[in-house]
Structure formats: structure tokens, C-alpha cells
Amino acid sequence: MAANERVDKFRSIWISDVHLGTRACRADLLLDFLRQTESETLYLVGDIVDGWRLKRTWYWPQAHNDVIQKLLRKARKGTKVYFLPGNHDEFARQFIGQEFGGISVVHDVIHETHDGRRFLVIHGDEFDVVVRRAKWLAHIGDKAYVLLLATNTFVNAMRRRLGFSYWSLSAYLKHKTKQAVEYVGRFERALSDEARRRQVDGVICGHVHTAEMKDMLGILYINDGDWVESCTALVEHTTGDLELINWIEYTRQLTVTPAPARAVA
């Protein structure tokens, strides 16, 4: 890290759906984020490594190895790191309850913010009806998503040539397609119901690659997004305030204005 590079310090950070081992993973931006942030606690909320894809095709460039090394280095230097395996890195669930290199592997965990709120932290795939009841269909959907991301790459290559900024076709379809909106809505309600059942103030999850922070009938539902398209993370400030950060927009706006608008609760 350059001597003049800014480092933001937080009480806690949550990231998920990195999908190391895939060409779509934005490991370069994640490394940038990890180098420019510090926290007392770091939660890796599932699908950090994409075991599904690695079984089919091996892809592991140096940047992906650098991300793993950076996470291990943070743990060695005193950051409390929790890894909550998701469906794509479910191979790690056999190690739940163990610790490797200072990283604790857990199924879920209750996080208490500085201001006393309690949040269930969980990847969330077990509340996805497709993953739970028709895993074969989830694999087909994953392949379709890969194809859509490849189309994304082509579309954005053309946009760059024309001088336009990045635009996500897959994110656009996700927000505009009725079935996709209903799918995400069901997922949000299921996670919020689980948080209510566990008598906590909210839930922090990943899985659906849709960064969101909203009240669900008294339960604060937060999804920290992904590092494939949106490049988002959830952070807790020393006050206990929670904030979603879009790293692409954050770094872009730092060169223009002191602080971009971000979701805070």
C-alpha cells in the first residue's frame, strides 16, 4: 500500500459472494477494498470461493490467491475473522466449529453492534427454496448466470469504447424481471422471519447478490451484496451505525466529493 493511501477504520465489516475461482470475480477491486479498510471484526458471509465452478473448470489467477493471503494476514494481525460457508463453498461446512489461520468457520453468528442491536449473520442459501428443494435447478441457474455475466463483459467492452461507464445487464434484468423480483422478495421475507423467530433486531446475509438495507415489519434486513457485479460491503462504524458501501462508486466519488451518499441505519 502506498504511503499516502487512505485507510478507513471500522468496527466491523461484512462481505460475501466473492466467487473466487471464477472469471467474473472482481478480485482487483476487493483487494483494493481490503487494503484500504481495517476493522476489529471481519465477516466472510459465504460463497467466498466458488467450489461449483472450480469442479468444472480450474481458474485461479494470482489476484485470487492474493485475496486469500490478505484475509489470512488480517487474521494474523488481530482482526477477528469469521467465515460462514455458503452453497458455493459448502465443502467448508465440514469444518464448522474449527479455526484455520485465525479464521473461525461457523454456520451463523449473532453480532451485537456498539449501540446494542443484535443481528443474525448467515449466508442464507437454506432459505432459498430452489437451492433447498431442487439443487439441480440451482446448478442450471448458475450456468445461465455465468452466460449472462459473459454477455455483461461484451456489452461493457462496447460501452467503454463509446466512452460510457460500467452498466450491469444482469442487475438490470434482476430488478426488472417480475419472477426475479418475487424470488428476492420471498428470500427477504424468509430471512426476516428467521430473525424474528430468533428474537434479534435484524439479519445480515448474502446469497442473492442484491445489496439492500430495509425495514421488514420491525426487522432490519441487510444484504451485503457481492463482488461480482455491485462490489458492495456492509460496515459498522464505531458508533454502531451500519452502512452499505458501493466500492466502485465510493472510490470514484472520492476524487470528486468528500463523501458519497450511502445507505445508513
Domain assignment of residue 39, yes or no = yes
Domain assignment of residue 49, yes or no = yes
Q: What is the CATH number of the domain that holds 25?
A: 3.60.21.10
Domain assignment of residue 111, yes or no = yes
Compute the distance between CA of residue 171 and CA of residue 232 in angstroms, rounded to an integer: 13
Compute the distance between CA of residue 232 and CA of residue 225 in angstroms, rounded to an integer: 5
- The residue among 72 and 133 whose pLDDT is bigger is 72
Question: Looking at residue 44, what is its pLDDT?
Answer: 98
Question: Looking at residue 199, what is its pLDDT?
Answer: 98
Give tens-digit pLDDT for 183-210.
Answer: 788 899 999 999 999 999 999 999 999 9
Residue 82, strand partner residues: 43, 104
Sequence-distant (6+) residues with CB within 8 A of 149 are 24, 170, 228, 229
Give tens-digit pLDDT for 94-152.
Answer: 999 999 999 999 999 999 999 999 999 999 999 885 445 444 334 445 555 556 556 66
How many structural domains does the chain have? 1
Domain assignment of residue 2, yes or no = no
Question: Looking at residue 162, what is its pLDDT?
Answer: 73
Give tens-digit pLDDT for 207-245.
Answer: 999 999 999 999 999 999 999 988 999 999 999 999 999
Q: Do 81 and 38 meet the contact criterion of CB atoms below 8 Å apart?
A: no
Backbone dihedral region for residue 199 (phi beyond 0: left; psi -120 to 50: alpha; all else: beta): left
Domain assignment of residue 3, yes or no = no
Angle (CA) 112 114 119, round 5°: 25
Confidence band, pLDDT 50/70/90 cuts, at residue 172: low
Question: Looking at residue 260, what is its pLDDT?
Answer: 45
- The residue among 92 and 251 whose pLDDT is bigger is 92
Question: Looking at residue 185, what is its pLDDT?
Answer: 85
Question: Looking at residue 159, what is its pLDDT?
Answer: 63
- Rounded CA Rg of the chain: 18
Domain assignment of residue 53, yes or no = yes
Give tens-digit pLDDT for 149-165.
Answer: 566 666 656 766 777 66
Q: Which of 44, 49, 47 is nearest to 104 (CA)?
A: 44
Give tens-digit pLDDT for 78-95.
Answer: 999 999 999 999 999 999
Give tens-digit pLDDT for 55-65.
Answer: 989 999 999 99
Domain assignment of residue 1, yes or no = no
Angle (CA) 126 247 239, round 5°: 80
Per the prediction, the chain carries an average pLDDT of: 85
State which residues form the domain around 139. Answer: 8-264
Q: Which of 247, 229, 250 is nearest to 172 (CA)?
A: 229
Question: Looking at residue 255, what is its pLDDT?
Answer: 56
Domain assignment of residue 28, yes or no = yes
